[in-house]
Structures are given as structure tokens and as C-alpha cells.
Amino acid sequence: MVSLSRRQVFVGLDYHQSGVQVCVMDKNGKTLQNSSVANDAATIAAVVRRHGDDVLAAIECCCGAANLAKQLADLGWNISLAHAGFVARMKQNPDKTDLADARILADLVRVGYLPKVWLAPDDIVELRRIVRFRRELVAERRDVKLRIRALLRDERIASPAEEGKAWTKRWLKYLTQVVLRPTSAWILEQQLERLQELSQRIDQVEKRLQSLADQDAVIQKLLALRGIGLITAMTLRAEVAQFERFRSGKQLARYCGLSPRNASSGERESDSGLIKAGNPHLRAVLIEAAQRILWHDTHWQQFAAALLRRGKPKSVVVAAVANRWVRRLFHQMQPQALAA
């Protein structure tokens, strides 16, 4: 007779800030419990322990879920993050309830069909936060610049050519001397102050990123590659993290959103741009990196020239370079290659 402490159970967790719906299922698919529990790892573990101690669990990937998953893993659970989009497609009906969501997660774990999301370690989570914080600041600075441009167009102000390129120190000084209506002048002053403040904050973030880069061997390896700067290296490290978690370079390229999307039907065979998947910011960073790589590396220049001779548009060529470069990077960043 198998003791209760060795009984295997499968658990689905539907996460909410105020509570967690917990579905406990046995190996035959029988629901042992499906109820709302306080959002606390110890409380959830105590509820599940009534049914068994050998726990295989899943929780949909959402804000706060990864943190709870780590706490439950520390309590001895074998828990995985589930891809929310794929789980939604597997539901048997269009209705959405907490009970149904928790039950399908438990059932997917039981039958081994759970679409998993990688659970990043704490140091990568912290790195992602600061990289994404910088991205938010850069986006905010871009919006401020657009508002300044819009104000100048509305006031019909065109900067003289002798004032130099936009956003240089000389050009910004020129803006402070432009004669505008009182309200417009005040708004421009506020926007320029905000622009300066954001630039200072971005500089502070980049100094912090540089200090983190100096302590990371993977980032140093990335920085040694032609055309790769600090932000590209930090973004790759934060979003990809461990290159060895992918099975192949092709899988890594797909994760980065750089794989072409097939749009074939019947006798028609064609591509339809890049796949609509992956982190869009990571893809944008890698596309920009590919453009720089084309300036520095003769191998990729020859590859691009061959595609251009075949009539491929330049945007397609740059995306193809990014795709092939990432697939090669996969092999360069394996642990055995880093140790060599």
C-alpha cells in the first residue's frame, strides 16, 4: 500500500492578486479539489498536502506568477510556468472561469502536454528589469522629442542650417532663444527640462548596466563580437539569458522573432514576413545590430550582396542577416565554446 506522503498529484494554479484558484487532480484525471485559496505559498502548499506530497504543478505566466512559482519550488514542488496564449487555445469551450482555467492546467500537466515557459533565475529577472526600465526611459525621451517637434511645427519655427543637427547641444541652446507666444514658450521650457532629466536618468542606468557587464563573462563574450555594443549585449543577456536552453540555433532565431513566416497554400509557396512571435523589442535590437554588422564584417557583406543580386528587398536582406547571425551565435555562446 502506497503511503499518502508518496501519492502523486497534479496541480493547476489560476493566479490572481487577491487569491489563487487551486485544482488538485490524481493520475486518473479525477478532481480532488478545486477551490480558491489565499495568495500565499505556504497556504497553497498546505491545501495540496492533504492530497499528496509528490506535486507536479503549473501556473500561467503572468505578473507575479513567477515569484509564487519560485516560492513553491523552494517548498519542494515540481512547478512549471505555462504559456497563457497556448493554454487559452487548448480550452474546450469559450467560457472563462477560474475553476476551468485551473482544471485545464492540472490536466495538461497530468498528460504531459503543458506548453512551458522558462522560469528565469533571480539575477536574470533583475537584469531584465533594468534593461526594460532603460527602454521605457528611452521611449519616454523619444515622445518628448516628438512633442517638441510638433510644437515647433505648430509655431512655424524652422531652425537655421547654421544651428547644426537637431538635438545637439548647439541646437538645444538655439531652442531656448526662440521667440514664441507665452504659453508655447513655457511649454517648450518644460519639455526641454524633462528632456534633460530623462537623458541624465538614461546615463545613470547605462552606468549601472556597464558595472553589471563588467562582472558577466557572457556579456563580455558578446561585446567582443563585431558590431555589438553594450545595449545589444545586455538585451541579449537579459532576454535570452542562457543560450544552452535552446536545442538549436534555428529555435533561438524563432524565439527572437527572426524566422520567416510561411504563407503557402496549395501550389502557391511564399513567405509572409517574419513570424508574429517573440519579444518585439529583442527583434528590433537584433535588426539594428544586423545593420551595424553589415558595416563591419565582410562575411555578412558577401551574404547580403548575394541576396540583393537575387532581387531581395533590403529590409528582407537585413532580417536574413539577423536570422543567420543569431543561429551562428547560438553555437558561439555554448558553455564549451565560452570555456575554450
One pLDDT digit (tens) per residue for the chain, 340 residues: 444 446 899 999 999 999 999 999 999 999 999 999 999 999 999 999 999 989 999 999 888 899 999 999 999 999 999 988 888 877 766 777 899 999 999 999 999 999 998 989 999 999 999 999 999 999 999 999 999 999 999 999 988 777 888 999 999 999 999 989 999 999 999 999 999 999 999 999 999 999 999 999 999 999 999 999 999 999 999 999 999 999 999 999 999 999 988 766 666 666 677 888 788 999 999 999 999 999 989 999 999 999 999 999 999 999 999 999 999 999 999 988 777 6
Looking at 91, 117, 143, the residue that finishes a domain is 117
The number of folded domains in the chain is: 3
Residue 200: inside a domain, yes or no? yes
Assigned domain for 221 exists: no
In a domain, 313, yes or no: yes
From 117, 146, 180, give the residue that closes a domain.
117
- Domain assignment of residue 290, given as a range: 229-339
φ, ψ of residue 90 in degrees (nearest 5):
-85, -5
Residue where a domain terminates, one of 62, 91, 117: 117
Identify whether 224 is part of a domain. no
Give this prediction's pTM: 0.85
Q: Are residues 140 and 66 in the same domain?
A: no
Same domain, 128 and 113: no
Tell me whether residue 222 is in a domain: no
Tell whether 105 and 138 lie within a shared domain.
no
Considering the domain architecture, whether residues 111 and 19 belong to the same structural domain is answered as yes
Is 270 found in the same domain as 176?
no
